[in-house]
Amino acid sequence: MTPDPDAPDPRFDAAAVALQDGDAERALTLARKGAKQARREGDDLLAADLLWLQGAALLELADPAAAVAALDEALRLAPDHLDASLDRAEALFELCRFDEARAAATSMAKQEPGEARAHQLLGLLAERRGDWPEADRRLARARKLDPEGFPRPVKLSRRDFDSAVERALDAIPEAVRSYLANVPVTVEDLPADHDLVESDPPLPPTILGLFRGAPYGQKLSADPWSHLPSSIVLYQRNLERTATSRAQLEEEIATTLVHEVGHFLGLDEDEFWARGLD
């Protein structure tokens, strides 16, 4: 029997299934191995597909710099690879390379006007520029094209959002709140560029909150925020995008606040739960 050249390759299928099942580490291992084999076999299109899966897995693993490298190679082998182009634009956004991300997403939106991810990314970039009409138009377009992937966020007035933050603060045990007496908790729409790029690699623009300053009881260190007065900021627009109901949003606000309080107290994730900060 003559092999079908259009039949799915089991190496691609295995990596794709692992990624779909949420096992990004396994997907990465399988995609790397498969891409090397495909290149030795001279199958550039299969290698590009596997390099795309490699980049997608690296994005899931919060390594956008490595993702860009894999996706660049995928696009070298297959310049018209739509998924690799989209993931590369998102990786550039995660790296705070906003001008490059905008150029890539704009090109994709022109090439594929019905691609929701391109419009969503352009909307997020427009928000960061303060171009709210463009942001609303692009985000609405993405929502219309893919309502399940990009559901309508919960929108609160700043007053209502601040009230939700106050309720979350009140729910923190008094023994913990006493440490926060001199730690202001503020709300901003989005993280500023300088807060993101203080870290190396930069923080992703979609972060929900940030603790600035040195953890409680610790001296100044090489940490870029350790010289600042201790403070916690929550990012309203990013948080609103995590929820499809008011109750869900308030739960996410509380979770994010506890997470940043944990950073202030110098606790890791396991210690959050061990000390009852849930």
pLDDT along the chain (278 residues), means of 10: 56 96 97 96 96 98 97 97 96 98 96 96 97 97 97 96 96 85 92 92 95 71 56 96 96 94 77 56
Q: Give the per-residue pLDDT at 275.
A: 58
Which residues 6+ apart lie within 8 Å of 202 measured at CB?
95, 96, 196
Q: E-assigned strands of 86-145?
A: none
Domains in the chain (CATH in brackets) are 10-145 (1.25.40.10), 158-274 (3.30.2010.20)
| Whole-number Å distance between alpha carbons of 94 and 203 | 8
Q: Are 84 and 71 in contact (CB under 8 A)?
A: yes
- Residues linked to residue 232 through DSSP beta bridges, in sequence order: 185, 211
Residue 26: what are its φ and ψ, rounded to 5°? -65, -40
Buried b / exposed e across 158-182, counting CB within 10 Å, b at 16+? eeebbebbeebbeebeeebeeebee
> Token pair of 85, please?
């182009």
Nearest to 109 by CA among 148, 128, 137, 133: 137
3-class SS of residue 191: coil
| Tens of pLDDT, residues 217-251 | 665 555 544 455 789 999 999 999 999 999 999 99
- What pLDDT, on a 0 to 100 scale, did the predictor assign at position 223? 54
Q: Is residue 215 within 8 Å of residue 264, measured between CB atoms?
A: yes
pTM: 0.88
Contact by Cβ (8 Å): 218, 225:
no
User: What sign does the CA torsion over 194, 195, 196, 199 have?
Assistant: positive
Decide if 74 contacts 55 (C-beta within 8 A): yes
> What is the pLDDT, as a whole number, of residue 173?
85
> Per the structure block, which two tokens stand in for 275?
């000390």
Count other C-beta atoms under 10 Å from residue 270's C-beta.
8
* Cis, peptide link before residue 215, omega less than 30° from 0: no
Answer yes or no: are the C-beta atoms of 58 and 28 closer than 8 Å: yes
* Alpha carbon distance 8, 62 (integer Å): 28
Write down the residue that tokens 């039949």 correspond to: 7
Among the listed residues 61, 19, 53, 60, the one whose alpha carbon sits nearest the alpha carbon of residue 33: 53
Instruction: Look up residue 124 and give its two tokens.
Output: 């997020």
Nearest C-alpha neighbor of 190 from the set 131, 263, 254, 109: 131
Give the pLDDT confidence score for residue 45 in this predicted structure: 95
